[in-house]
């Protein structure tokens, strides 16, 4: 699997990620004939190495200058330098370019004072950026990439609406093209600060509907609205590939969304997506906003395949316009005209999900519209903290015929005392086929691994699953050994688990823990805490707060 990966993808973390990937997938022969098929990783990755063009023209645009004229006059290989601290107002279009070679870079004149490549820009970097300010115009789009526009990279640019203006999209790659050949291509947003109006919000930061589109090392915030969905980044009408890496991403509805509208390109499925090292969050202060912003989830996949979601911090989600699940893998033929819509080959690993009302919701197929079946999902080596923000307080929900789902080596706590708290909630038909739930260290909650009208444990498994394996899990709470398959464990409380320092947020198992080396693979039960810490270093970013500690587990 590492043969797919190129050494520059993860900005210094690729070698570690590759070795981790080899270790993470090595356990499956030990699970025997009930092992599921693992998801395919992305087949294409975007190389976003910063390499300032040499040999082209440098076009300086100082305060009062015409940025659109610079865009129109630039050739491939040119560099447009916008004066730092200057404001350029207008709605801009990225034209198609055929002369020259390479990329057009649009860069702040104070580039040397910005974070170096691979390091995230934050709002305090704004004084060293040039600022693009958008009045309402061009149907509420700030920057529009023309059909076929290609090879543009923006570095160190602040983008925002004129104060008091609500914009639909600040940076739009794609404009409803009906063929992949007409899409914009090779567009990268690098170390930029993109934000909505502080009072009115905005619909979305970046629409990524092009070929080879990347948002990296950037700060995308303030996208919220009453009564309509908002996103920090979104794509629905492109085959990809996409890269979303090392950003702060903030929106009230879906911070990251793939799908949500029927593609204009027939049979198009956003594919080969990497979502790595991002801090994905909502502001807790939004809970008291009246009227309420439309709050839904942190990541939602409605039409996507070959997706790697790795090393992210996901934080703060509560029930409002939806029921509070924070990560959704749910195929949606949104308007009934895209029956090819599918969610398949999804790898969700080494993430930390905290301060959320419920965890991960997985659905097998759309209803009433026809979609393809959800297939090959791996949820592995994650820390999940379901906290008291209202809602059901459930870690996992599995619905209606998911095929080849593996949930392995996760550490997940329920710390809320409200709602029908459950380790897992099952409902719908047909049964889920090829299912493995192994090596997890999880809270039982009020109802455990529960199926609608079937109770928990064996009854749920036999009714809602075929070809399943449920083994070597430690379920914190009441001793339900007679209700579950053999080879599972039931520590009464967190003390009985034997954490190194549970109250201090250290979820390693001590050398005396009965669950040390108790996995089917000889590893500790629960997530690989060292691997998560290693790959997540710096993800919270400057001034951000760490995942909450002192969790009080509810049995």
pLDDT given at position 549:
54
Give me the mean pLDDT over the 51-74 stretch. 97
Domain boundaries, the chain: 15-44+267-555, 48-223
pLDDT given at position 376:
98
Q: Which of 174-188, 299-313, 539-553 has the lowest mean pLDDT?
A: 539-553
Q: Is the pLDDT of residue 347 over 50?
A: yes
Q: Is the pLDDT of residue 15 over 60?
A: no
3-state class (DSSP) for residue 138: helix
pLDDT digits (tens, 9 = 90+) for 464-508: 999 999 999 999 999 999 999 999 999 999 999 999 999 999 999
pLDDT given at position 543:
55
What percent of the chain is predicted at pLDDT more than 70?
91
Give me the mean pLDDT over the 73-85 stretch. 98
> How far apart (Å, rounded) are the C-alpha atoms in residues 233 and 213?
11
Which residues of 113-239 form beta strands (DSSP E)? 130-134, 141-145, 150-155, 157-161, 169-173, 185-190, 193-195, 204-208, 211-216, 219-223, 231-235
pLDDT given at position 418:
85
pLDDT digits (tens, 9 = 90+) for 497-530: 999 999 999 999 999 999 999 999 999 999 999 9
pLDDT digits (tens, 9 = 90+) for 383-427: 999 998 888 899 999 999 999 999 999 999 999 888 889 999 999
Burial 66-90 (b: 16+ CB within 10 A, else e): ebeebbeebebbbbbbbbbebebeb
Q: What DSSP string runs through 228-292?
A: S--EEEEE-S----EEEES-EEEESSEEEEE-SS--SSTT---EEEEEES-EEE--GGGGG-SSP
Burial 458-474 (b: 16+ CB within 10 A, else e): eebbebbbebbbbbbbb
- Averaged pLDDT score across all residues of the chain: 92
Q: Which of 24-38, 59-73, 308-322, 331-345 has the lowest mean pLDDT?
A: 24-38
Q: Is the pLDDT of residue 89 over 50?
A: yes
Q: Is the pLDDT of residue 17 over 60?
A: no
pLDDT given at position 544:
56
pLDDT given at position 33:
43
Q: Is the pLDDT of residue 20 over 80?
A: no
pLDDT given at position 555:
52
- Per DSSP, 388 falls in state S
Given a contact cutoff of 8 angstroms between Cβ atoms, the answer to whether 377 and 354 are in contact is no
């Amino acid at each position: 699997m590492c043969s797919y990966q190129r050494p520059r993808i993860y900005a210094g973390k690729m070698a570690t990620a590759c070795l981790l990937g080899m270790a993470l997938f090595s356990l499956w022969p030990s699970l025997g004939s009930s092992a599921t098929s693992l998801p395919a990783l992305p087949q294409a990755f975007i190389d976003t190495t910063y390499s300032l063009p040499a040999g082209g023209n440098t076009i300086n645009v100082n305060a009062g200058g015409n940025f659109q004229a610079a865009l129109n006059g630039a050739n491939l290989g040119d560099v447009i330098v916008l004066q730092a601290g200057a404001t350029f107002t207008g709605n801009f279009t990225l034209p198609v370019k055929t002369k020259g070679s390479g990329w057009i870079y649009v860069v702040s004149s104070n580039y040397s004072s910005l974070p170096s490549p691979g390091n995230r820009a934050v709002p305090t970097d704004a004084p060293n950026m040039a600022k693009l300010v958008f009045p309402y115009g061009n149907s509420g789009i700030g920057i529009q990439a023309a059909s076929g526009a290609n090879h543009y990279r923006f570095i160190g640019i602040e983008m925002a609406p004129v104060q008091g203006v609500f914009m639909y999209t600040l940076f739009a790659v794609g404009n409803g093209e009906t063929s992949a050949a007409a899409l914009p291509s090779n567009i990268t947003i690098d170390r930029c600060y993109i934000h909505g109006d502080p009072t009115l919000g905005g619909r979305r930061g970046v629409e990524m509907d092009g070929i080879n589109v990347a948002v990296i090392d950037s700060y995308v915030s303030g996208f919220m609205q009453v009564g309509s969905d908002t996103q920090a980044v979104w794509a629905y009408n492109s085959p990809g590939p996409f890269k979303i890496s090392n950003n702060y991403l903030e929106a009230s509805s879906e911070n990251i969304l793939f799908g949500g509208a029927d593609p204009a390109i027939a049979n198009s499925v956003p594919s080969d997506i990497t979502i790595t090292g991002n801090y994905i969050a909502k502001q807790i202060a939004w809970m008291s906003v009246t009227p309420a912003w439309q709050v839904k989830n942190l990541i939602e996949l409605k039409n996507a395949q070959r997706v790697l979601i790795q090393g992210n911090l996901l934080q703060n989600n509560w029930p409002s316009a939806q029921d509070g699940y924070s990560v959704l893998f749910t195929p949606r033929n949104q308007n009934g005209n895209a029956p090819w819509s599918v969610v398949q080959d999804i790898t969700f690993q080494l993430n930390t999900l905290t301060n959320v009302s419920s965890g991960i919701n997985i659905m097998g197929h759309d209803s009433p519209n026809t979609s393809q079946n959800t297939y090959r999902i791996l949820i592995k080596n994650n820390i999940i903290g379901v906290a008291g923000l209202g809602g059901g307080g459930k870690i996992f929900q599995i619905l209606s015929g998911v095929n080849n789902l593996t949930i392995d080596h996760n550490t997940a706590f329920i710390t809320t005392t409200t709602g029908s708290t459950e380790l897992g909630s099952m409902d719908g038909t047909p049964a889920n086929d090829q299912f493995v739930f192994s090596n997890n260290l999880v809270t039982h909650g009020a109802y455990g691994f529960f199926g609608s009208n079937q109770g928990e444990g064996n009854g749920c498994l036999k009714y809602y699953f075929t070809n399943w394996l449920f083994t070597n899990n430690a379920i914190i709470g009441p001793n339900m050994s007679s209700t579950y398959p053999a080879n599972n464990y039931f520590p009464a409380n967190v003390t009985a688990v034997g954490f190194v320092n549970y109250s201090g947020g250290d979820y390693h198992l001590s050398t005396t823990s009965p669950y040390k080396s108790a996995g089917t693979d000889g590893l500790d039960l629960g997530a690989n805490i060292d691997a998560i810490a290693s790959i997540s270093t710096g993800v919270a970013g400057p001034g951000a707060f760490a995942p909450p500690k002192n969790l009080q587990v509810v049995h």
